[in-house]
A and B are shown apart, each in its own frame.
Chain A
Amino acid sequence: MIINLNIIRSIISATALCFCLFNSGVTLAQQNFDDVEIKVLHVQGNIYMLVGEGGNITLQAGEQGVLIVDTMFAPLSDKIFAAIRSVSDKPITYIINTHGHGDHIGGNANLAQMGSNIAGGNTIDLFAAGAGNQAKVVAHENVMASILAQENPIPIEGWPTDTYYTSKKDLFFNGEAIMITHQPNAHTDGDSLIFFRRSDVISTGDIFRTTAYPFIDVANGGSLQGVLDGLNYILDLAVPADRQENGTMIIPGHGRLTDEADVLDYRDMLTIIRDRIAYRIDQGDSLSQVKATEPTFDYDDRFGLNSGTFTTEKFIEVIYNELSIRN
């Protein structure tokens, strides 16, 4: 009975939390982006990382055009476009969304309209008017579903034009294989992980971040086990170079550039925390008893949050509820 009450309480809290996150109008009204600077870091090969406010952007540039993964917030679009122009004068051809949260898709409409896709040029008249006048937006179909479910969704010009519902989708662009894989029920139910095979770079979205524990968006299908599965998949894909460093580079949803070793430490930590909470549940502990054991204590000074939308306490609750249901 206690467990059920906690589950219900958690779901209500998570729903409220996600409503706030998706309600981009509220978020943007409270946030001033005037001082935000978009910084560009060359990762390797064709890949750059753009850092500003919101989720990191991965940029692939080549002869065919520009592909970006995620778009931060809408008010930053002009600055993001200027940053893209510092790397390439080619049009934005593809936008890939790692998931549907406002800090990752907020600039979809602006940046899509600043680009064009390969349906343009001489073939434009063969298609419906405007078919080639903006970049394609690629995402898992659950991203589309989450946008449609929002009270104040992003403008229609930013909605995905190219969704996939299977476990993966491949592209070949700028001479490079790009493998998009769906990571089910991880940060959300619509997470995509993007692997740039020739450049050897993985863009993770919010399955992995270096700034905090993962935000598990339960109301939108997220789960700790899904996050762990995603991290383990990243470890399967990534191969470090000499001295267990570099090789496959990994751009997290938030935070600094990383490689396999950083993901490994994060995966280890989440697995250990999961095992601790699972053990306490097996011992019959209630949520408050689990919290009293401080299962995250040794990592809190590095990854814990005491305020904001997803605190450490909420993180423990979500894991507790997930593991309790499984039991």
Chain B
Amino acid sequence: MSYLQRSRFRFSLLFILSFAFPVQAQIDLSGEWGAVFHEDSDERRPGPEMVEYQGIPINEAARRRALSWSPSLLTLPEHQCKPHPSDYGSRGPSNMRIWKEIDSESQQLIAYHTRIRWQAPERTIWMDGRGRPPEYAAHTWQGFSTGHWEGNVLVVRTTHLKQGWARRNGIARSDLSEFTEHFIRHGNIMTQVVMVSDPVYLTEPFIRTNNWKINLAQQIPPYLCETVTEIDRPQGEVPHYLPDQNPFLREHADRYNLPLEGVLGGAETMYPSFIE
């Protein structure tokens, strides 16, 4: 191979590689994404029923806590405007905007930002390799997220979460939880796989998937929540059910003719063998 041929070959190789291996993002996730509710629609839109815990790997502590939970808790002003935590935000009305923060000098990707419709939580996924805050730093609804690419998949790890919920019928998720997400884009469809671990309330990781479809006409409204005192209560009153006094204990089970032990959840209820 002559010098000229070798030079042409090297240039061609470099040209091809420059497209094949971008330095940062493997695929861009930016855009307006409309939530697709074909999966778990009943749980995600009208919402789960009381004492409908099946399919979640909760332990006995989570079960007892959920059984003491009263929806009236949400009448307390301090509870009214809480956004979904980031591990749950994709489950609700989750039309989402994703945008990139780029360093203007280096053109390196610093972060992805997301905003979701319901309660408008904004979240940052740091892509610049920064370290996590110390353990004594504040926890937030969205937590502290860092991401990296595995091929075309954005993998995100989130810590520093506030106490939240695994399902919005009283199943608690503790502030010691962490979760990992995989964002997978297939053209105009994006899938998110969320794997939550909780040393307090889960016996094994709780895994869910959510999907979006690109929506170029989407507009996400501003955050407009204001608290109101719906019921005058004595200061410090906290609505809840005492043990063994939840009036909805059997409602869901009876409506669908299910055994009570089935609707009370636990890892075993995630698997087909439990039904058998």
Known A245-B140, A249-B138, A256-B138; contact A299-B65, beta-carbon cutoff 8 A:
yes
Binds A, one of B29-37, B102-110, B237-245: B237-245
Question: Which residue of chain B has its CB nearest to the CB of A258?
Answer: B138
User: CA separation between A242 and B115, bound complex, in Å?
Assistant: 14
Residue interface bits B124-150, CB-to-A below 8 A is 1, else 0: 000000000011111111000000000
User: CA separation between A268 and B74, bound complex, in Å?
Assistant: 12
Residues in chain A near residue B242, CB distance under 8 A = 275-276, 279
Residues in chain B near residue A177, CB distance under 8 A = none
Residues in chain B near residue A262, CB distance under 8 A = 139, 162-163, 175
Which residue from A249, A256, A267, A298 sits with its C-beta under 8 Å from B62? A298
Residues in chain A near residue B188, CB distance under 8 A = none
Please tell me if the beta carbons of B136 and A256 are within 8 angstroms of each other in the complex: yes
Please tell me if the beta carbons of B61 and A264 are within 8 angstroms of each other in the complex: no
Residues in chain B near residue A272, CB distance under 8 A = 68, 238, 240
Interface presence of B81 (CB below 8 A): yes
Interface presence of A10 (CB below 8 A): no
User: CA separation between A63 and B91, bound complex, in Å?
Assistant: 49
Residue interface bits A11-46, CB-to-B below 8 A is 1, else 0: 000000000000000000000000000010100000
Interface footprint category on B: 35 or more
Residue interface bits B142-169, CB-to-A below 8 A is 1, else 0: 0000000000000000000011000000
Question: Which residue of chain A has its CB nearest to the CB of B237?
Answer: A271
Please tell me if the beta carbons of A243 and B136 are within 8 angstroms of each other in the complex: no
- The B interface is mostly helix, strand or loop, or mixed, namely loop
Please tell me if the beta carbons of A260 and B61 are within 8 angstroms of each other in the complex: no
Residue interface bits A288-312, CB-to-B below 8 A is 1, else 0: 0000010101111110000000000
User: CA separation between A49 and B133, bound complex, in Å?
Assistant: 14
Instruction: Give the A-B contact count at a CB cut-off of 8 A.
Output: 100
Report A138 CB to chain B, min CB distance, Å: 25
Interface presence of B235 (CB below 8 A): yes
Please tell me if the beta carbons of B136 and A268 are within 8 angstroms of each other in the complex: no
User: CA separation between A297 and B61, bound complex, in Å?
Assistant: 6
Q: Which of A190-208 contact B (CB under 8 A)?
A: none
Residue interface bits B79-96, CB-to-A below 8 A is 1, else 0: 101110000000000000
Residues in chain A near residue B140, CB distance under 8 A = 245-246
Please tell me if the beta carbons of A301 and B83 are within 8 angstroms of each other in the complex: no
Which residue from A249, A264, A267, A298 sits with its C-beta under 8 Å from B65? A298
User: CA separation between A264 and B240, bound complex, in Å?
Assistant: 14
Question: Which residue of chain B has its CB nearest to the CB of A210?
Answer: B175
Please tell me if the beta carbons of B81 and A244 are within 8 angstroms of each other in the complex: yes
Please tell me if the beta carbons of A243 and B83 are within 8 angstroms of each other in the complex: yes
Which residue from A235, A257, A298 sits with its C-beta under 8 Å from B138? A257
Please tell me if the beta carbons of B139 and A267 are within 8 angstroms of each other in the complex: no
User: CA separation between A268 and B237, bound complex, in Å?
Assistant: 9
Q: Which of B48-80 contact A (CB under 8 A)?
A: 60-62, 64-65, 68, 73, 78-79
Report A253 CB to chain B, min CB distance, Å: 13
Please tell me if the beta carbons of A41 and B73 are within 8 angstroms of each other in the complex: no
Please tell me if the beta carbons of A255 and B136 are within 8 angstroms of each other in the complex: yes
Question: Which residue of chain A has its CB nearest to the CB of B244?
Answer: A293
Please tell me if the beta carbons of B83 and A244 are within 8 angstroms of each other in the complex: yes
Interface presence of B200 (CB below 8 A): yes
Please tell me if the beta carbons of A235 and B68 are within 8 angstroms of each other in the complex: no
Report A313 CB to chain B, min CB distance, Å: 17
User: CA separation between A275 and B135, bound complex, in Å?
Assistant: 32
Residues in chain B near residue A299, CB distance under 8 A = 61, 65
Which residue from B62, B120, B135, B163 sits with its C-beta under 8 Å from A243? B120
Which residue from B60, B62, B81, B134 sits with its C-beta under 8 Å from A41? B134
Please tell me if the beta carbons of A301 and B138 are within 8 angstroms of each other in the complex: no
What are 7 inter-chain pairs, A to B, with CB distance below 8 A? A243-B119, A245-B141, A249-B138, A256-B139, A262-B175, A268-B238, A271-B236
Which 10 A-B residue pairings sit nearest by Cβ, starting from the closest? A298-B65, A271-B238, A257-B138, A298-B64, A244-B81, A298-B61, A256-B136, A301-B200, A232-B236, A51-B136
